[in-house]
């Protein structure tokens, strides 16, 4: 007699791990993501941290989540999940709304005590009935007790044993999706390389979870996930902050300038500082400064000294750095400012994502202080756009603000590690050898790009001073002449505008011949691209244009947008990019889709809004 099985074959699947902030959901989710990327799946993740640092254990406000979509054609972590792992009642209550109808719920029944239910504000002792979960596939799993059983006799204290519960849950999920637990063990061994006893304990618990799932295989659906036919190469799972750090290192290599980072720790940008601090082997100098102002000022000094200079922050820090950035603007020094955007104002929601720093990046300095602004579209694109920010900064002698965000900074995707020759050389605008050094002045410029020449201190015959006071456009001496000031303001403005000659033109995806174009920028790309595909597939033809270069815009951007009857801009703010475009295309009425909830878009929100706006 054949065993009864229920195997679903899917192009992609979504899993959400949830529990207390100390339950290790991020680790379990990351290992599952890495294992899936290793078998050829595309991946997209959304770590959903609680905003409170230490919320009461078992409370609704302390729930931490990690959602990952794996499979084929993956651009987002998914609107809803196929499988929800809930390590306690609070996690179940907070996250069940993300579960697809008929989905699988894996719960640690050992944690569903009367006291735990009370902490999660359940009114009854039957959470399944209270939440109306009768239509779901519920896998009641004694995670805590089976973890203890797997580690019995190993001399571990109770606290250490309980820290392994997340790996038991990971074992069950690995069984559910036919993942190789040996690959998961390799990640555990790497994670706990300095603690072999901990690695061994987690390996035992992983086996126990996998075997538990195998022994109950007929009770819930299992899944087979289709894989991509990937381009040959070495693949890894990478988050946006790490990709940003690596892009900076590549830019240092390609420019021949040593990399310096001066930064102050701030959520969610701190991982960039952490990653670069580990790269002394590559000649990186990473300095943790005493505050945000010191961070930017140290980077400006490093830039003057000839370094590829970077400072990283989030919205509150960008505000504090504004006067320093103005100094780099008037001194015309290359500087990369990385802003991993989060909720605001003030300290805001430090773990939540928004796109609300755009106007600050474009205009948030005193006087006329134009800078280049770029924005990566995905976790892996953080590598490319960090490289591009450095290229623009060095080749055009200007500060560049890179607008990442918490969603793509903390989120991850499968990434093919590029070869060095896939990225161009970065060419600093050094003083040409045919210019007489005795007549050279610091604000002497290239006639075509208007970029001033970079004189590295210590170069014989190129002694000079820079500062925050206006300089004469010819002599480079301090000047208070009104006409000269206006000329210098216009020169700096035009220099930024001419960067458009050195960036890619805007491309259109979806149905380019449609009447409607959906527009986005930065980290919303995956959701908007997926919404475009769904709209076109259901007969609602739309074009799609996504901006990674904000200031200046691509040369053809306004001409492309002007072709369409309906222009709809979707962004995680009140309409900043829409306002920016509206000022440049006054003859068009730009429609808007806005969300300011500290959460990324849902694809369904975009689809429904586009249909509503084009009726």
Q: Are residues 241 and 209 in the same domain?
A: no
Count the domains in the chain: 3
Residue 1 has pLDDT above 70, yes or no: no
What CATH number does residue 552 fall under? 3.40.50.920
Q: How many C-beta atoms surround the C-beta of residue 484 within 10 A?
A: 16
Question: How far is the C-alpha of 354 from the C-alpha of 577, rounded, in Å?
Answer: 13
* pLDDT confidence bin for 3, thresholds 50/70/90: very low
Q: Are residues 31 and 158 in the same domain?
A: yes
How much is the pLDDT for 232? 79
Q: Are residues 49 and 166 in the same domain?
A: yes
Last residue of a domain, one of 503, 528, 547: 503
Question: How far is the C-alpha of 100 from the C-alpha of 340, rounded, in Å?
Answer: 31
How much is the pLDDT for 217? 61
Q: Are residues 186 and 250 in the same domain?
A: no
How much is the pLDDT for 229? 66
Q: Are residues 123 and 144 in the same domain?
A: yes
Domain hosting 59: range is 7-225
Last residue of a domain, one of 479, 503, 527: 503
Please name which of 80, 70, 8 lies closest in space to residue 35, comparing C-alpha atoms: 70
What is the arrangement of strands in the sheet containing 285-288, beginning at the earlier edge strand? 285-288, 259-263, 308-313, 335-341, 399-405, 372-374, 549-551
Q: Are residues 398 and 295 in the same domain?
A: yes
How much is the pLDDT for 54? 76
Place of tokens 């040409």: 432
* pLDDT confidence bin for 520, thresholds 50/70/90: very high
Burial class of residue 444 in the structure, from the number of CB atoms within 10 Å of its CB (0-12 exposed, 13-18 middle, 19+ buried): middle
Per-residue pLDDT tens over the stretch 203-250: 999 999 999 998 876 567 677 777 666 677 888 889 999 999 999 999
Domain-located, residue 542: yes
Q: How far apart are the first and last CA of the chain?
A: 56
Helix (H, G, I), strand (E, B) or coil at 308: strand
* pLDDT confidence bin for 50, thresholds 50/70/90: confident
Percent of the chain topping pLDDT 70: 97
Q: Are residues 494 and 548 in the same domain?
A: no
Per-residue pLDDT tens over the stretch 380-432: 999 999 999 999 999 999 999 999 999 999 999 989 899 889 999 999 999 98
Q: Are residues 31 and 110 in the same domain?
A: yes
Q: Are residues 154 and 136 in the same domain?
A: yes
Structure tokens given for 157? 């204290």
Q: Are residues 463 and 426 in the same domain?
A: yes
Helix (H, G, I), strand (E, B) or coil at 246: helix
Domain-located, residue 230: no
* pLDDT confidence bin for 2, thresholds 50/70/90: very low
Model pTM? 0.93
Per-residue pLDDT tens over the stretch 254-309: 999 999 999 999 999 999 999 999 999 999 999 999 999 999 999 999 999 999 99
What CATH number does residue 476 fall under? 3.40.50.970
Which residue would you say has higher pLDDT here, 220 or 316? 316
């Amino acid at each position: 007699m054949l065993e009864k099985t229920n195997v679903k074959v899917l192009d992609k699947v979504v899993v959400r791990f949830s529990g207390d902030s100390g339950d290790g959901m991020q680790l379990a989710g990351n290992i599952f993501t890495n294992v899936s990327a290793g078998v050829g799946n595309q991946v997209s993740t959304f770590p959903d941290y609680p905003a409170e640092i230490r919320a009461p254990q078992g409370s609704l406000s302390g729930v931490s989540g990690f959602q990952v979509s794996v499979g084929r054609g993956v651009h987002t972590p998914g609107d809803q999940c196929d499988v929800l792992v809930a390590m306690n009642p609070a996690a179940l209550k907070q996250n069940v709304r993300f579960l697809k109808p008929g989905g699988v719920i894996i719960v640690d029944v050992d944690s569903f005590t009367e006291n735990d239910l009370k902490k999660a504000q359940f009114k009854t002792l039957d959470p399944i009935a209270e939440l109306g979960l009768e239509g779901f596939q519920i896998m009641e799993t004694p995670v805590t007790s089976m973890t203890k059983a797997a580690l019995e006799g190993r001399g571990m204290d109770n606290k250490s044993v309980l820290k392994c519960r997340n790996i038991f849950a990971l074992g069950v999920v690995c069984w559910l999706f036919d993942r190789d637990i040996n690959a998961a063990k390799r990640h555990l061994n790497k994670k706990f390389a300095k603690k072999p006893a901990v690695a061994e304990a987690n390996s035992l618990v992983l086996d126990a979870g996998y075997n538990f799932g195998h022994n109950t295989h007929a009770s819930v659906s299992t899944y087979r996930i289709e894989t991509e036919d990937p381009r040959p190469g070495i693949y890894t799972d990478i988050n946006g902050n790490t990709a940003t750090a690596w892009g900076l290192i590549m830019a240092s290599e390609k420019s021949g300038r040593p990399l310096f980072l001066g930064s102050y720790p701030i959520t969610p940008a701190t991982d960039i500082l952490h990653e670069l601090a580990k790269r002394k082997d590559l000649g990186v100098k990473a300095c943790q400064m005493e505050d945000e102002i010191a961070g930017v000022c140290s980077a400006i000094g490093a830039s003057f000294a000839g370094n590829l200079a970077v400072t990283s922050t989030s919205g509150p820090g960008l505000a504090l750095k504004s006067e320093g950035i103005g100094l780099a603007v008037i001194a015309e020094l290359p500087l990369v400012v990385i802003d991993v955007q989060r909720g605001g104002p003030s300290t805001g929601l430090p773990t939540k994502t928004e796109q609300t720093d755009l106007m600050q990046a474009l205009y948030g300095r005193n006087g006329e202080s134009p800078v280049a602004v770029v924005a990566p579209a995905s976790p892996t694109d953080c590598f490319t756009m960090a490289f591009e920010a450095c290229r623009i900064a060095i080749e055009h002698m200007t500060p560049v603000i890179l607008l990442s965000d918490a969603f793509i900074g903390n989120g991850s995707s499968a990434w093919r590690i590029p070869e060095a020759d896939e990225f161009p050389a970065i060419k600093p605008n050094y003083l040409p050898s045919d210019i007489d050094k005795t007549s050279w002045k610091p604000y002497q410029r290239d006639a075509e790009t208007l970029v001033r020449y970079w004189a590295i201190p210590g170069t014989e015959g190129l002694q000079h001073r820079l500062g925050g006071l206006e300089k004469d456009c010819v002599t480079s001496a301090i000047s208070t002449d009104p006409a000269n000031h206006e000329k210098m303001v216009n020169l700096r403005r035009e220099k930024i505008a001419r960067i458009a000659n050195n960036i890619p033109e805007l491309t259109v995806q979806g149905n380019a011949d449609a009447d409607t174009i959906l527009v986005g920028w930065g980290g919303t790309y995956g959701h908007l691209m997926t919404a475009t595909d769904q709209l076109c597939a259901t007969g609602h033809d739309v074009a799609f244009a996504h901006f990674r270069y904000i200031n200046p815009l691509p040369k053809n951007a306004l001409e492309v947008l002007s072709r369409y009857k309906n222009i709809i801009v979707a962004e995680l703010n009140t309409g900043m990019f829409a306002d920016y475009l509206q000022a440049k295309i006054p003859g068009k009425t730009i429609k808007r889709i806005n969300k300011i909830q500290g959460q990324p878009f849902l694809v369904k929100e975009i689809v429904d809004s586009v249909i509503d706006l084009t009726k």
